[in-house]
Amino acid sequence: MTYVSDVVALTRKDLRVELRARDTLPAMLLFVLSTLVVFHFALPAGTGATAAYGLLWVAIVFTALLGLSRAWVPEAEHGVLDGLVLAPCDRSAIWLGKTLATLAFLLAAQVVALPAFVLFFAPLDATALAGVLLADVGICAIGSLLAAMAAAGRARELLLPLLVLPLAIPLVVGGVGSAVSDDGGRFLLFLLLYDGVFAVLSWASFEYVITE
């Protein structure tokens, strides 16, 4: 129960910081909506839904990257990460709290973005929505770990996409597959497995990432 209460306290802290600073979520919302509007006007008339689903994933991945690039900024200011590392809580709770907070921001952006996608492009069925949710979990789990690694370096903004995008490719494959394939359930299962494996790896390796 102590672990859960630590994670809850850390997640709540991230939500409270964002509520005060308003640095991340407005930028994510603006970015994803702008991207969808640009795609709407850039795509030639008569373009099929399959291409549109692909573009949705471009918007989702880069919106997530935007959120992840800001994820550890509050900890970088005033050296707070040192304070968290010194605390006797399980260090993986810091990763899990950050993952949940980032996931909350991404989901909040998608509450606006997905209806906009449906309005501009194509409908999304339950399988496609499940694909988006599972891919979100994977992106945030892996991304929170890699963003912590990138935050320690000097070229944070440059390093993060280079680390995250290769690992996000299977998530995009699974997400697009769940939306366009006749056998979307197979892609959901793939996303579930991918999330499980990489969430456990991220959870287990976070301690080594934040300590030298």
Partner 1 sequence: MIVARGLERRYGGRRVLAGVDLVVQPDDVVLVTGPNGSGKTTLLRILAGLVAPTRGELELAIDRSRIGFVGHEPLVYRELTALENLDLFGRLYRVPERRERIGMLLERFGLWDVRAVRVSEYSRGMAQRLALCRALLHDPDLLLLDEPHASLDAAGAALLDEELARLARGRALVVATHEPERLSALAPRRLALT
Residues that bind partner 1 (CB under 8 A): 2, 5-6, 9-10, 13, 16-17, 20-21, 74, 77-80, 82-89, 211-212
Q: Could you give the CA distance from residue 117 to residue 55 in angstroms, rounded to a whole number?
A: 10
State the minimum distance, in angstroms, from the CB of residue 207 to partner 1.
12
Please identify, using beta-carbon distances, which residue of 2 and 119 lies nearer to partner 1. Answer: 2
Residue 8 Cβ, how far from partner 1 at the closest point, in Å? 9
Residues whose CB falls within 8 Å of the CB of residue 179, separated by 6 or more in sequence, listed in order:
53, 56, 124, 125, 127, 128, 131
Distance in angstroms (rounded) separating the CA atoms of residues 137 and 107: 10
With respect to partner 1, which residue has the nearer C-beta, 17 or 129?
Answer: 17
Torsion of CA 95, 79, 8, 60, to 10 degrees: -50
Nearer to partner 1, 46 or 88 (CB): 88
Shortest distance, CB of residue 84 to partner 1, whole angstroms? 7
Let me know if 132 is exposed, middle or buried by CB neighbors in 10 A (0-12, 13-18, 19+).
Answer: buried
Q: Smallest distance from the beta carbon of 183 to partner 1, in angstroms?
A: 46
Shortest Cβ 201–partner 1 spacing (Å): 22
**Do the beta carbons of residue 31 and residue 69 sit within 8 Å?**
no
The three-class DSSP label of residue 72 is: coil
> Shortest Cβ distance from residue 107 to partner 1 (Å)?
21
d(C-alpha 99, C-alpha 93), whole Å: 10
- In angstroms, how far is CA 34 from the centroid of its own chain? 18
Cβ-contact 159, 176 below 8 angstroms: no
Residue whose CB is less far from partner 1, 39 or 206: 206
DSSP class of 79: G
